[in-house]
Amino acid sequence: MSVQKYQEKYKSTSIWYKINKLSIHVRHWERQNKPKLLLLHGWMDASASFQFIVDNLSPEWDIYAMDWRGMGLSEHILYGYYDITMMISDLSQLVDLISPQQPIHILGHSLGGMLLSLYAGIAPHRVKSLVLAEEFGVSDESEEKSVQRMKGFLQELSHDSRRSKTKNRDHYIQKLMKDNPLLSYEKALYLSHFLLRDEAGHLKLSADIKHRISQPFPYNLAFYEKFWKRITSPVLWMQGDFVAHNSVLNGIKDSLEQRYELLGSPERVVLKGAGHMIHWEASEDMADATEKFLLETI
């Protein structure tokens, strides 16, 4: 029996930018003279996974989606680790390249949303609106945990034994579906062609395994709060549900409302039944909520 393949409704083209001496890949669903929308994926993900969102948005947006450094088709660093401040610098320079004069709409999922929330506080005049999708995975660490984080960072950096190989494509697809129960086989198959790469006959993760090295400095709400207070553009808070497979949301359940209030209690959308990867599991509902919000900000 033949496997049904996911059919893209809208095709993207690839743009390559030299940013901070790295080749950064950006997908572009070009619509001339339409408002610009930039999409930022999360940790170990890729810009191609936003295809499901783009296909459910109207063609009234000029859409870009960046592969963060070391993920998707963007260049990997040779040494060290992926410092989030350099990733914010990549974002800042990209915004200036694609929209040098006007602020733009930006949607960030997970890590992409966390970095976006910092950027929007640093350069509020460059952001027309923000969609923060499951971006609240910032743990509020104790001092002791922060010390352990730094110790772990030093150990990981000096004794890097991680491997990125996977058994085979179908095994990887089944894992995606197990971790994201609402994800269809056809979408999981589509994602596998962007989240995996063939290297000398072996399938490996497209994302650089060095992204698994811990950030050396602590995550804490007090740090983020200072940036969030400087955000001036409209914000849409979008989250999945408290289902078993949403470990990120369940992990910060006790402080979720505090985080929401620190962001100014913005408009809020909950995608019922969806886990952390809401753009995979609830792409139609996510696109509908995003478009409704964006139209309100024009």
pLDDT at residue 27, rounded to an integer? 98
Q: Is residue 208 a part of any domain in this protein?
A: no
Q: E strands of the chain, at which residues?
A: 13-19, 22-29, 36-40, 62-66, 104-109, 127-133, 196-199, 202-205, 235-239, 267-270
Read off the tokens for 240.
Answer: 């999945």
Q: Is residue 181 a part of any domain in this protein?
A: no
DSSP state letter for 43: T
Q: Is residue 2 a part of any domain in this protein?
A: no
Q: Is residue 127 a part of any domain in this protein?
A: yes
* Whole-structure pTM value: 0.96
Q: Which residues neighbour 196 within 8 Å (Cβ) at sequence distance 6 or greater? A: 166, 169, 172, 203, 204, 205, 206
pLDDT at residue 2, rounded to an integer? 61
Q: Is residue 68 a part of any domain in this protein?
A: yes
Residues of the chain with pLDDT under 70: 1-2, 137-139, 160-164
Q: Is residue 174 a part of any domain in this protein?
A: no
The total number of structural domains that make up the chain: 1
Q: Is residue 280 a part of any domain in this protein?
A: yes
pLDDT at residue 137, rounded to an integer? 66
Q: Is residue 200 a part of any domain in this protein?
A: no
CATH number for position 266:
3.40.50.1820
pLDDT at residue 221, rounded to an integer? 83
- Domain residue limits at 88: 13-148+218-297
pLDDT at residue 298, rounded to an integer? 86
